[in-house]
Structure 1
Amino acid sequence: MFDEIYADFELPAPDPARWQDQLKEIAHRSYRIMISHNDLARAALASVPTGPNAMRVSEAMFGLMLAGFPHLRGHAEVMTSGAPGERFQFGLDLLIDGLRRYCG
């Protein structure tokens, strides 16, 4: 179901000058889609969406991050390797570090 809904998801061409705004636009569009389909977010949390449409959106978001931070390419292996629990911890650490920076 998740992948079917994301089949028509429009993605912007990466613009290094606007990468943050473009990521926010994609996130807001995803949020609106999830809200309009009540249990879609639960389905995505229960199992990481890996269908072709979900991967297309994920790859576009990653591409935007690379457009904004070319030095991330040197860290791609760290960002995508490891066991699922390790990748989860990495993402959680990034989230907490960002919150700490924002909150002081």
Structure 2
Amino acid sequence: MVDAALDIVAREGYEALTMRRVAAALETGPASRYAHVVNKDDLDELLIGRLCAEIDLPEPDPAAWREQITGVCVRMRDQHLRYPGISRAALAAAPTNEDTPRLAEGMLAILLAGGVAPQAAAWGIGALALYVNAYTLEFSLRGRSGGEWGVGRDELLSRFSNLPDAFPQTKRHAAELTAGTDHERFDFTVELVLGGLARR
């Protein structure tokens, strides 16, 4: 069931995923589709659990904690980008299985090994997970691929430069506001969070 659901999301996006679509993909009747899950929330939890289970977690290394946590975030990002819109399920998931908390446990262990205080580490993993979800959700909502803006950078630059004079900073720094290829913005933000955690 999870494989069929993920296949639908990979091909058509999370918005296309319904219990009825999964049942059709499995060639089962409406009643039998509920034999394994009660509702779409249950299915969402299974999907996110599967994605979390597929992420390898390194043994925490105090000397390499920033690289390790960045690597986990990148793997989370790439998992979510394979399944457009799946971040909606991740943002709403209230896990009852062990796969999702396993990922949080691993991230917490890495931050603690790096000397981050427990409260900062706890909030840090929440902030990082939220950012990964928001970042990948933006990709799916804008319909971007390969890091390109939905309307194109040239169009954005034109729009910013044509703003009224009440927006002097936006007009002056339009190039900076629209800069970034591939995942440069992602890398910047993760490093920004980790830099803040390191200082704490």
TM-score in terms of structure 1 length: 0.65
The answer for the alignment partner of 1:26 in structure 2 is 72
Relative to its length, the structure with more helix (as a share) is 1
Computing the radius of gyration from Cα coordinates, the structure with the larger value is: 2
**Larger relative contact order (C-alpha < 8 A, sep ≥ 6)?**
1
Indicate if the aligned counterparts of 2:52 and 2:100 stay in contact, CA closer than 8 A.
yes
The answer for the alignment partner of 2:91 in structure 1 is 45
Q: After TM superposition, which residue ranges in structure 1, 4 or more long, deviate above 6 angstroms?
A: none
- Counterpart Cα distance in 2 of 1:50 and 1:58: 13
**Structure 1 segments unaligned to the other structure (5+ residues):** 81-86
2:57 pairs, out of 4, 11, 20, with 11
CA offsets per residue over residues 7-57 of structure 1, 9 Å max, x none? 222110000000011000000000000000112211111234453111111
CA offsets per residue over residues 40-90 of structure 1, 9 Å max, x none? 2111112344531111111100101100116x14x48xx76xxxxxx7xx9
Q: Percent identity?
A: 29
Kindly indicate whether residue 111 of structure 2 is the aligned counterpart of residue 62 of structure 1.
Answer: no
**Number of matched residues?**
84
Distance 1:17 1:10, change over 3 A: same
- Counterpart Cα distance in 2 of 1:50 and 1:68: 28
Alpha carbon RMSD of aligned pairs, Å?
3.0
TM-score in terms of structure 2 length: 0.36
- Counterpart Cα distance in 2 of 1:63 and 1:5: 19
